[in-house]
């Protein structure tokens, strides 16, 4: 199996990325926003809030209301950077997550995972939109799979800054 590039020493360092960036977005922090001491003082810092939106069946895309699953055991699977945040967001929607399978960010789901997924407890398995795409390629999943939609709410100050930045770039064309 191949590998994703860049990897290893070809990837830029964190300090290189910070120098090259135009702004910093801090995700899902409700406390007062403070600029991290390592971030250049001349660059703006914004907040972005993530929230779960609709819940859909992966096979027919029918919407399932969050409340329909409130009193039932559910399992969750994900291969994202912070799966514990995903689990917390599901619980905040009223779901009772009895078991999880969390893989490293960008990990692929394999035929070997199918048996584990099928034997998870609960009436269904909830996953991310990103993982649902990977799961579609697998055969033999018998457990109902539900996909939790994700929405990003950009702060007003970030929206204004972004529009100005895009307009200034378009004016250069």
CATH at residue 81:
3.40.50
Domain count, the chain: 2
Digitized pLDDT (tens) for each residue of the chain, 173 residues in all:
444 445 556 577 777 887 888 888 888 765 556 667 777 778 888 888 889 999 999 989 999 999 999 889 999 999 998 899 999 999 999 999 999 999 999 899 999 999 999 999 999 999 999 999 999 889 999 999 999 999 999 989 999 999 999 999 888 77
Tell me, yes or no, whether 3 lies in a domain: no
Q: Residue 73's domain spans which residues?
A: 53-149
Task: Give me 39's structure tokens.
Answer: 């971030």
Residue 60 maps to a domain: yes
* 77 and 62 in a common domain: yes
- Return the number of other C-beta atoms located less than 10 Å from residue 96's C-beta: 13
Determine the distance from the C-alpha atom of residue 140 to the mean position of all C-alpha atoms in its chain, rounded to a whole number.
25
Residues 59 and 12 in one domain: no
């Amino acid at each position: 199996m191949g590998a994703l590039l860049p990897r290893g020493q070809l990837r830029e360092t964190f300090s290189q990325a910070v120098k090259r960036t135009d702004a910093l977005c801090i995700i899902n922090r409700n406390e007062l926003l403070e600029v991290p001491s390592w971030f250049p003082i001349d660059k703006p810092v914004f907040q972005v809030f993530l929230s779960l939106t609709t819940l859909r069946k992966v096979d027919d895309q029918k919407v399932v209301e969050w409340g329909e699953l409130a009193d039932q055991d559910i399992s969750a699977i994900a291969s994202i950077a912070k799966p514990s945040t995903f689990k917390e967001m599901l619980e905040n929607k009223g779901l009772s997550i009895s078991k999880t399978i969390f893989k490293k960010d960008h990990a692929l789901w394999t035929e070997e995972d199918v048996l584990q997924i099928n034997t998870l407890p609960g009436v269904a398995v909830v996953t991310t939109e990103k993982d649902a795409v990977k799961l579609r390629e697998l055969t033999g999943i018998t457990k109902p799979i539900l996909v939790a939609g994700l929405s990003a709410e950009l702060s007003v100050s970030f929206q204004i800054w972004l529009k100005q930045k895009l307009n200034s770039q378009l004016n250069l064309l």
